[in-house]
């Protein structure tokens, strides 16, 4: 085995390793909690102004019937027609899709 064959093997191994790491990172990536909060706020802003909003930056397990997923929990408050309203929500961490909204 000469140096050229070794170098070709080393480069090929490094490229394959980098490809595997990238594939794993893409499959395991969650949507940013900030993006989820912005999406929820923009949906609520269509009905009126928002006073405040929050989101927990760490995911938690969520189960609804037979479906299990990791979610971000958050909430927001607003005033509509002189009445103060508060909502809590859960959004899928992988897609950002809101899976639950409850008025408090």
**39 and 2 in a common domain:** no
Residue 6: predicted pLDDT = 73
pTM of the model: 0.70
Give dist(CA 61, CA 72) in Å, integer: 9
Q: What is the pLDDT of residues 39-96, one digit of tens each?
A: 999 999 998 899 999 999 999 999 988 889 999 999 999 988 888 999 999 999 999 9
Sign of the dihedral defined by the CA atoms of residues 36, 50, 44, 103, in that order: positive
Domain of 78: which CATH number?
A: 3.10.450
Domain range holding 41?
31-103
Cβ atoms of 53 and 78 within 8 Å: the answer is no
Total domains in the fold of the chain: 2
Q: What is the pLDDT of residues 33-49, one digit of tens each?
A: 999 999 999 999 998 89
Residue 60: predicted pLDDT = 95
Q: Which residues pair with 64 in a beta bridge?
A: 67
């Amino acid at each position: 085995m000469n140096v050229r064959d070794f170098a070709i093997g080393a480069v090929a191994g490094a490229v394959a390793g980098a490809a595997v790491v990238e594939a794993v990172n893409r499959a395991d990536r969650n949507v940013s909690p900030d993006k989820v909060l912005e999406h929820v706020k923009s949906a609520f802003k269509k009905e009126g102004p928002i006073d405040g909003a929050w989101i927990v930056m760490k995911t938690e397990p969520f189960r609804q019937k037979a479906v299990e997923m990791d979610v971000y929990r958050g909430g927001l408050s607003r005033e509509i027609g002189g009445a103060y309203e508060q909502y809590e929500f859960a959004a899928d961490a992988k897609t950002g899709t809101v899976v639950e909204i409850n008025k408090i």
